[in-house]
Amino acid sequence: MYQYNFFNEICSAYKFLIPEIGLFLSIILGIIALFFTKNKKSNFNIIISLFIVTISLIYSLKLIPNKNFQDILIFNDLYSINYLTYVIKLIILAALLGIHIFSLLMPKEKNFINRFGIAELSVLINFSALGALFAVSSNNFIILYISLELQALSSYILVANKKDDLKSNEAALKYFVLGVLSSGLMLYGVSLIYMNTGSFSFEKIYYLLNNQNNLFSTLTMTGIVMVICALCFKLSAAPFHSWLADVYEGAHNVVVAFFGIIPKIMAAYIIYKLYHYVFTGEYLIYTTKIISIFIVMSLIIGSISAIKQKNFKRFLAYSAVANSGFVLLAILGSIDQASQALIIYFIAYMLGFYGLIGFAMFYWSENYQEHNNYEINSMHGLNKIYPSISIIIAFCLFSIAGIPPFIGFWGKLNILLAGISNLYFSLIIIALLTSVISLIYYLKIIKIMYFANNLYHEQNQHIAHHKNLQYKNIVIFYGITLIIGSFIWLII
Amino acid sequence: MINYEYLLSLNIFSPLIGTLLIAIILLFANYNKQQNQLENNFARIWPNIIGLIFASIPILITSLLWLKNSIFTEKHLLAKNIFEYYLEVDGISILMLMLSSFICIICLITFWLNKNYSKKHPSLGVMLILALQTCCLGVFSAKDLILFYIFFEASLIPMLFIIGIWGRENRVYASLKLFIYTVFGSIFFLFVIIYLKTIFQSSNPEILAPLIANLSPNWQNILWVCMFIAFAIKVPTIPFHTWLPDAHVQAPTFGSIILAGVLIKMGGYAMIRFLIPMFPESTEFFSHFVCILSVVGIIYGSLLCIAQKDLKKLIAYSSVAHMGYVNLGIFAPCSFGYAGAVFQMISHGFISSALFLSVGIIYDRLHSLEIIKIHSLSTKMPFLAITFMIFTLGSVGLPGTSGFIGEFLVIFNAANRSSYLIYAILGATGVILGAIYMLILYKNIFFKHQENINTIGDDVNYQTNLHTSKKENIILSIFAIMIIYFGLYPKPILEKIQNIKNIKYFNCSQNLDIQKINNKNEVKN
């Protein structure tokens, strides 16, 4: 007789839980390793996480389920696994891999307190990613809230890492207050939905909301709006984007790399799931309208605010806001096209974004510059100093801007195909026009790097040519993967 | 050999392979900052050799394809639902492929001949020219809309860098204007592509053409306008031409050569290949409008040329004027207008590239492009004077040069229908205006002698030897010979133009079908 308990469930479905199990194992080993680290140095810890994450990634790549895979529901309908969640977990794991590689190889700051390398921080990143993994697979609002909180609480601490830096403290405080506010908003929205339906499970809510006996209820709509707003906060869609610029500017670069991808994928998938599977039926029109408003605001605010930015990281933040507008546009499409567009767009965005953050990590570290100020103007004449790296930055920028033949174009093409499938013409036109506007600031960086004015040139010549071979090889290897990535995708 | 399955892809991507090889070589080279050049000798020589080899591979393959008079296709299904990698090379495409591969080699040689350009980032220049060659070859071979769009947009990136790095004082403004203006137009093209892809699940113009006829006429007109904007910016049609003078004036010589020789032709080619077969009814609806724009382009462009003081800007505006003939040929309805348009594209490719090459030689010697300051070049640079005369006659459209045939076919085609006769008349007056500015220019540069002045251009001593070198002579004479050869014997080109599938163009009321002319020739022979 089949006895339902925790152990049985895991045994039957363990193949598909490898990402979570692997990550949990790395957290436990990391915490144990904390007792053995000397002077809070943490290379050992990062290596552990790296190792286990790599193994779980490779092992789970072999077990990708079929596209027509049915939903598996385990743990008494609390947890769902299907093809899409699996792929997104793999993307999150791959992003995590990149983050650990960054934290291992980046040049260490002289000021020890500001350094990212204190042992517990890699464990915190793993916790946050674990929260993201749980949230992606959640089938129940309670589990969703718990995993979102797990992800958020770890990230509050991560932002506040640089204790000596005023900007970091400001960013952490702002993010904490706004994040807690959005979590509270989500909880209230969930409670309103519960009031009308009496259940937290996604499937039951869908069934109960579209029951003939249940009429359209404004309170449920309010609850839905609140849940979507809280998730858009995580996605940094406008008008919930104000935390992003400060967090990018204040946090450590590894944390920025974390924030650029993982909360966004998680939130995008959850909004996709809620939009297509839970809040459909009668509520679809209104949900679409709300998301359309967010799309238009994100695109316009994101592309226009980035034009005047002088700080590299704030510039990245506002381009991320515009990109989250695109992500929301993908969600509005039909189910198949939306999922495909999300996956491709996030892979493309991850590659481009990690290139830019990796460059920011090395170029503005204390080994290379006296001032740690991340000013775009200090990139003048980069073509003469580091030609290969400036080409890679140009590739990353063109990829994020969506210019063919780079991989970012395929992402944008898929999103536009998904967005137009329900004939939302005005959204498509706004998206296309804002992508032309966003070209202004992407080209501005390329202009500063390549078409340099001679004045600024001489100021940069004093930068010592450090023979940091690690750095150069990584970036070159990265460039190769980016170029190959734009063509290999066609074969998939 | 000719039936090798991947021949067309090899044709397109062989310059890209050269780019990657040069990049790999540069990875292993060390850069000496004090001397501002690469330390290793092999890193200085090998990129040039690789560049030359991989830039000439397309010419060899294209010549192979030229010899066989058939339509080549290559079709692969990639990325399942999104994208079909469909290449097709028929008569018009082969001509444009030959033109682009030839002009790219000339561009590369010009880059090496000019020491000012090749001292500054030499290997980057070779890589950019090779990448540009790939994009040009891809544009003219692509049949699928998305593939065409990829190459169409990708050709802007090397152009951005070429103008921005090696250009003149205002180069940043010119390169950014070129890029953003053209991308803005292509956005509308992308909108049409994704709309058609969503509604009809196909991006193949052959499949789409009968399906589009089911849409309502209003929608067809809207889609036509969106697509037309994208190509009109590239042609350039007035009023979307303002990027061209800036881009040409600020661009280096080799940039101007490839911009005027190849990149501009993408617009006209796209109109023939995609716009008209897919939207024939809308084209008829808008044909008068476009003919007016093209005639305005011819006359306004020529009038602007008469008033120019800068040599390069003058030739840039003459490009605008000549491309007006292309537009007129495509949109005035009769069956051989497009033949005139294609011939005009090819001959203008040669003539304007040759003109920009000559202007580049003048700028290199005299360091100034103001017509007032330049004088007495017929005694100082005699070989250039001879060849520049041939280029001038070609630009004017003298019978015997290739410029005449294109213009003649276009004007004759427009005159065949009574409602389009006015455009033929105005186009013919454009020929006269062309003669005015080109001959006045020639007189002012070459025949004007100023005896009291000891300097030519910007402080170049009158006694300095300004003769063109042997290599430059060879290239100039190649251009001159081709212009005269195709002016006297246009049959190879016109033959290729007939080698297309039966795409529905306009119906001509007088049945002057090229197929029938061809049949008559065969009967006679």
CA distance A31 to B144: 55
CB contact under 8 A, B82 and A414: yes
Compute the nearest-CA separation of B517 from chain A (Å). 43
Contact of B156 with chain A, judged by CB distance below 8 Å, is answered with yes
* A435 near B CB under 8 A: yes
Closest Cβ–Cβ partner in B175, B176, B183 for A436:
B183
- Report A:382-411 residues touching B (Cβ under 8 A): 383-385, 387-388, 398, 403-405, 409-410
Q: Which of B33, B121, B149 lies nearest to residue A404, judging by beta carbons?
A: B149
| pLDDT at residue number B79 | 57
Three-class SS state of B31: strand
Residues with Cβ within 8 Å of B380's Cβ and at least 6 positions away in sequence, in order, are B456, B466, B467
> Residue B201 carries which DSSP code?
S
Using an 8 Å CB-CB cutoff, list chain A residues near B82: 410, 413-414, 417
Beta-carbon separation of B194 and A420 below 8 A: yes
Per-residue pLDDT of chain A (492 residues), as tens digits, is 555 666 666 666 677 788 888 888 888 888 888 777 666 556 666 777 777 777 777 777 776 666 666 677 777 778 888 888 888 988 898 888 888 877 777 766 666 556 665 667 788 899 999 999 999 989 999 999 999 999 999 999 889 887 777 888 899 999 999 999 999 999 999 999 998 888 888 888 888 887 766 677 888 889 999 999 999 999 999 899 999 999 998 888 888 999 999 999 999 999 999 998 888 877 888 899 999 999 999 999 999 998 888 889 999 999 999 999 999 999 988 888 888 889 989 988 988 888 888 888 777 776 555 555 788 877 777 777 777 778 888 888 998 999 988 888 888 999 999 888 777 788 899 999 999 999 988 999 898 888 866 554 444 444 434 334 455 656 666 666 666 666 655 544
pLDDT in tens, B12-47: 899 999 988 888 887 776 665 555 566 667 777 888
For residue B72, what is the enclosing H or E element? strand B72-78
Residue type, B387: T
| B74 inside 8 A of chain A by CB | no
d(CA B322, CA B297): 8
Q: Which residues, including other chains, have CB under 8 Å from residue A32's CB and lie 6 or more apart? A: none
| Residue closest to B172 by CA, chosen among A438, A453, A379 | A453
Q: What's chain B's length in residues?
A: 525
Check if B114 contacts A (Cβ < 8 Å): no
- The two tokens of residue B503 are 């795409």
Question: Smallest CA–CA separation between B85 and chain A, in Å?
Answer: 10
Q: Residue B509 is encoded by which pair of tokens?
A: 């009321």
Residue type, B318: S
Q: Which residue has the tokens 């309103």?
A: A192
Whether A467 contacts chain B with CB within 8 A: no
Is the peptide bond preceding residue B492 cis, with omega within 30 degrees of 0?
no
- pLDDT digit string, tens, across residues B72-111: 777 776 655 667 788 888 888 899 999 999 999 999 999 9
**DSSP reduced 3-state for A115:** coil
Of B151, B191, B197, the CB nearest to A428: B191
Contact B176 A447 (CB under 8 A): yes
pLDDT tens-place string over residues B384-438: 999 999 999 999 999 999 999 999 999 998 888 888 899 999 999 999 999 999 9
CB atoms within 10 A of CB B115: 9
- Residues of B numbered 28-67 whose beta carbons fall under 8 angstroms of chain A's beta carbons: which are they? 31, 33
Distance CA A72, CA A68 (A): 12
Which residues of chain A neighbour B149 with C-beta distances below 8 Å?
404
Instruction: Please tell me the distance from the alpha carbon of residue B76 to that of residue B287, in angstroms, as a whole number.
Output: 36
- In DSSP terms, B456 is beta-bridged to B460
C-alpha torsion sign, points A320, A326, A332, A336: negative
Cis, bond preceding B399 (omega within 30 deg of 0)? no
Q: Which two tokens stand for residue B260?
A: 């005027």
The per-residue pLDDT for range B444-483, each reduced to its tens digit, is 998 888 777 777 777 777 777 788 888 899 999 999 999 9
* DSSP, res A311: B
Among candidates B27, B171, B190 on the partner chain, residue whose Cβ is nearest the Cβ of A451: B171
Which of A432, A450, A492 is closest, CB to CB, to B164? A450
The three-point CA angle B265-B267-B273 to 5° equals 100
Residue A242: CA atoms inside 13 Å, Cβ hemisphere, count? 9
Task: Kindly report which listed range (A487-491, B191-195, B208-212, B291-295) carries the lowest average pLDDT score.
Answer: A487-491
Q: Spell out the residues 6+ positions from residue A93 whose beta carbon is closer than 8 angstroms to its own.
A: A19, A23, A53, A56, A57, A60, A129
Query: Do B160 and A492 count as a contact with CB atoms less than 8 A apart?
Result: no
A124 conformational bin, left if phi > 0, alpha if psi -120 to 50, beta if neither: alpha
- Which ipTM did the prediction report? 0.89
Tell me the pLDDT band of B176, cut-offs 50, 70 and 90.
very high
Q: How far apart are CA B520 and CA B525, in angstroms?
A: 9
Predicted confidence at residue A466, as pLDDT, reads 38
Question: What b/e readout covers A401-412, taking b as 16+ CB neighbours within 10 angstroms?
Answer: bbbbbbbbbbbb
**B416/B337 Cα distance (integer angstroms):** 10
* pLDDT tens profile B348-375: 999 999 999 999 999 988 888 888 888 8
- Cβ distance B139 to B155 under 8 Å? yes
Rounded Cα distance, A446 and B202, in Å? 36
CB burial readout B257-289, b (16+ within 10 A) else e: bbbbbbbbbbbbbbbbbbbbbbbbebbeebbee
d(CA A371, CA A369): 5
Burial B41-62 (b: 16+ CB within 10 A, else e): eebeebbbebbeebbbbbbebb
Alpha-helical segments (H) within A106-217: 119-136, 141-159, 166-197, 202-209
> What whole-number distance in Å separates Cα of residue B39 and Cα of residue B34?
11
* Torsion over CA: B211, B216, B219, B224 (sign): positive
Q: How far apart are CA A176 and CA B376, in angstroms?
A: 76
Q: How far is B204 from chain A (nearest CA, A)?
A: 16
Considering CB atoms only, which of B165, B171, B195 is closest to A420?
B195
Per DSSP, what are the bridge partners of residue B83? B78
Q: Which of B205-214, B340-349, B360-369 has the highest mean pLDDT?
A: B340-349
